[in-house]
């Protein structure tokens, strides 16, 4: 069984269920969650993350509404086969950008400041060679 | 001015409903009109400083403390009349040490305890004891405080009651054991239909389990709310001010915590974010950021921010 998430962060700006949803998107985007891969049961994930099982249920239900997973009665929750990795990368990237922007504004920076800084930082990293995809977990 | 916070919960189905409960011990009002609703299936964190009345409130629910005034309903019964029936369907992990002075081994104590509960699951009790690192052969009078706490948790959980009342279940446990207890609790809640009312003055580790929170001070609730509503309503606003500025009364009425510097302020407000942002902007101020608070910070801010000014 693919364990797609190691921990949640109660201090994160995202509610816990949204963190679980983002980790599923990440798994799809980087290929660790393949079509028809089974997600852990609600109980397993609740126990593993020390969270309320209703939070896991909420995350899975939202993912189903978005068409990323399907339920099989008595069997569990699975990744939908037709989900494409590329759009999930975009959804994730937008969410990361929103958080970075919020942080930039908090520090009195503009989106232009942030864009320039990202380009400069990314340039330096690319010179060092980026890791291919994200095969390793955090 | 003291901000208006929701201090009551409504629920169609509830495991616990206490209304205007008062209890005086000598000269101290332990409970001064506490009104508590715990919806069925909730994980309700009862927060508050030491001496706020958390333990007394829990004890009124199972008839260990008899209130001077007010009404209490637990699992459709009244502890005044049906304390035994309520206790049979409740798992209580007390904060104080009880029944542990005996020379019998822990297994004997568990067996004695099991006799009171038809739904006691001996295998589950054994699994829990092992997970909590308890040796069943140890004589009870030699158990440490931490072992007593863990044994009390086994006794509260092993009959899979529909209602769990845990008073400071993590107090005195080392970090690894606290983590183990949290794992067991998450698993237990996912497995059995349970309402959990947990009293604790430290919220951070329990926060990911919690669905509702109540903040108690001096025997009365300052705040009772579902967690999503707390996340929505309690926020910290970092604002840049114009040269001259006067706060809209809408804003100043809802401030729980304020830090102010020249031309900049950071206020923690309870209420509707778009409305607050509009009020700041109408006064010529620029909202630089809005952030959420952790559950611990939220509780602290409520406890501090609702204190009447000393000269008031």
pLDDT digits (tens, 9 = 90+) for B237-247: 999 999 888 88
Tokens read off for B15: 């495991």
CATH label of the domain that carries residue A29: 1.10.10.10
Nearest chain B alpha carbon to A14:
B292
A135 located within any domain: no
pLDDT digits (tens, 9 = 90+) for B4-58: 899 999 889 999 999 999 999 999 999 999 999 999 999 999 999 989 999 999 9
Separation CA B154–CA B144 (nearest Å): 15
A4 located within any domain: no
How far away is chain B from the Cα of A105, in angstroms, using its nearest Cα?
6
How far away is chain A from the Cα of B230, in angstroms, using its nearest Cα?
12
Q: Which tops the pLDDT comparison, A130 or A22?
A: A22
Q: Which fold has domain B232-305?
A: Alpha-Beta Plaits (3.30.70)
A108 located within any domain: yes
Residue A23 sits in the same domain as residue A63: yes
Residue A75 sits in the same domain as residue A103: no
What mean pLDDT comes out for the span A41-62?
96
Residue A63 sits in the same domain as residue A32: yes
Interface of A with B in 108-127 (CB under 8 A): 108
A41 located within any domain: yes
| Residues in chain A closer than 8 A to B190 (CB atoms) | 42-43, 46-47, 53
Q: Is the per-residue pLDDT at A136 higher than 70?
A: no
Residue A49 and residue B295: Cβ atoms within 8 Å? no
Q: Is the per-residue pLDDT at A137 higher than 60?
A: no
CATH of B14-229, one of 3.30.300.20, 3.90.1150.10, 1.10.287.110, 3.40.50.300: 3.40.50.300
Q: How far is CA B122 from CA A106, A117, B109, B126, in A?
A: 55, 61, 13, 6
Interface of B with A in 25-44 (CB under 8 A): 41, 43
Residue A65 sits in the same domain as residue A92: no
Nearest to B288 among A42, A50, A105 (CB): A105
Pairing of strands B195-199, B163-167: parallel
Half-sphere exposure of B312 (CA within 13 A, CB side): 7
Q: Residue A138 has what pLDDT?
A: 38
Nearest chain A alpha carbon to B212:
A52
A58 located within any domain: yes
Q: Which of A83-97, B164-178, B180-194, B207-221 has the lowest mean pLDDT?
A: A83-97
- In this predicted complex, what is the ipTM? 0.86
Residue A73 sits in the same domain as residue A95: no
Hey, which bits of chain B come out as E strands?
Answer: 14-25, 28-39, 43-47, 69-74, 90-93, 163-167, 195-199, 212-217, 220-226, 234-240, 255-261, 264-270, 286-292
A56 located within any domain: yes
Q: What is the DSSP string of B5-24?
A: -------SSEEEEEEEEEEE
A69 located within any domain: yes
Mean pLDDT across chain B, nearest whole number? Answer: 93
- How many domains is chain A built from? 2
A136 located within any domain: no
Structural domain range at position A30: 16-79
Residue B204 and residue A102: Cβ atoms within 8 Å? no
Whether residue A13 lies within 8 A of chain B, CB to CB, comes out as yes
What mean pLDDT comes out for the span B206-227?
96
Ranges in chain B annotated CATH 3.30.70: 232-305
CB pairs under 8 A between A and B: 59
Nearest chain A alpha carbon to B186:
A47
Q: Is the per-residue pLDDT at B211 higher than 80?
A: yes
- pTM value is 0.89
Q: Which of A55-64, A103-112, B47-56 has the lowest mean pLDDT?
A: A103-112
């Amino acid at each position: 069984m693919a364990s797609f998430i190691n921990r949640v962060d109660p201090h994160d700006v995202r509610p816990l269920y949204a963190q679980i949803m983002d980790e599923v998107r990440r798994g799809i985007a980087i290929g660790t969650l393949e079509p028809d891969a089974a997600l852990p049961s609600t109980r397993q994930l609740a126990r593993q993350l020390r969270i309320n099982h209703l939070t896991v249920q909420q995350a899975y239900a939202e993912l189903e509404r978005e068409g990323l997973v399907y339920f099989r009665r008595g069997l569990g929750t699975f990744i939908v086969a037709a989900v494409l990795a590329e759009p999930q990368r975009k959804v994730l990237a937008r969410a990361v950008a929103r958080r970075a922007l919020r942080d930039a504004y908090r520090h009195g920076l503009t989106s232009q400041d942030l864009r320039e800084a990202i380009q400069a930082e990314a340039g330096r990293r690319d010179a060092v060679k980026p890791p291919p995809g994200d095969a390793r977990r955090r | 001015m003291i901000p208006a916070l929701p201090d009551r919960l409504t629920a169609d189905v509830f495991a616990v409903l206490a209304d205007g409960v008062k209890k005086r011990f000598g000269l101290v009002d332990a409970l001064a009109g506490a009104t508590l609703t715990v919806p069925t299936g909730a994980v309700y964190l009862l927060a508050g400083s030491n001496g706020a009345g958390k333990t007394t409130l829990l004890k009124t629910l199972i008839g260990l403390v008899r209130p001077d005034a007010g009404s209490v309903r637990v699992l459709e019964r009244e502890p005044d009349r049906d304390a035994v029936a309520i206790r049979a369907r409740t798992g209580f992990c007390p904060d104080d040490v009880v029944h542990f002075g005996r020379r019998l081994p822990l297994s004997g104590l568990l067996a004695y305890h099991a006799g009171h509960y038809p739904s006691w699951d001996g295998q589950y009790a054994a699994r829990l004891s092992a997970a909590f690192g308890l040796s069943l052969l140890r004589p009870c009078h030699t158990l440490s405080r931490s072992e007593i706490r863990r044994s009390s948790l086994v006794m509260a959980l092993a009959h899979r009651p529909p209602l769990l009342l845990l008073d400071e279940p993590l107090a005195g446990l080392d970090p690894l054991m606290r983590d183990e207890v949290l794992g067991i609790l998450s698993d237990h809640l996912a497995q059995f239909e349970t309402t959990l009312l947990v009293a604790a003055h430290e919220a951070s580790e329990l926060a990911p389990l919690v669905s509702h929170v109540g903040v108690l001070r001096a025997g009365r609730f300052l705040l009772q709310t579902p967690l999503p509503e707390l996340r929505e309503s309690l926020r910290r606003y970092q604002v840049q001010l114009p040269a001259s500025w006067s706060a809209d009364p809408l804003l100043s009425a809802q401030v729980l915590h304020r830090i102010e510097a020249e031309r900049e302020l950071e206020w923690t407000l309870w209420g509707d974010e778009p409305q607050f942002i509009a009020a700041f902007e109408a006064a010529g101020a620029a909202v630089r950021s809005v952030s959420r608070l952790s559950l611990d910070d939220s509780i602290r801010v409520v406890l501090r921010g609702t204190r009447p000014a000393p000269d008031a």
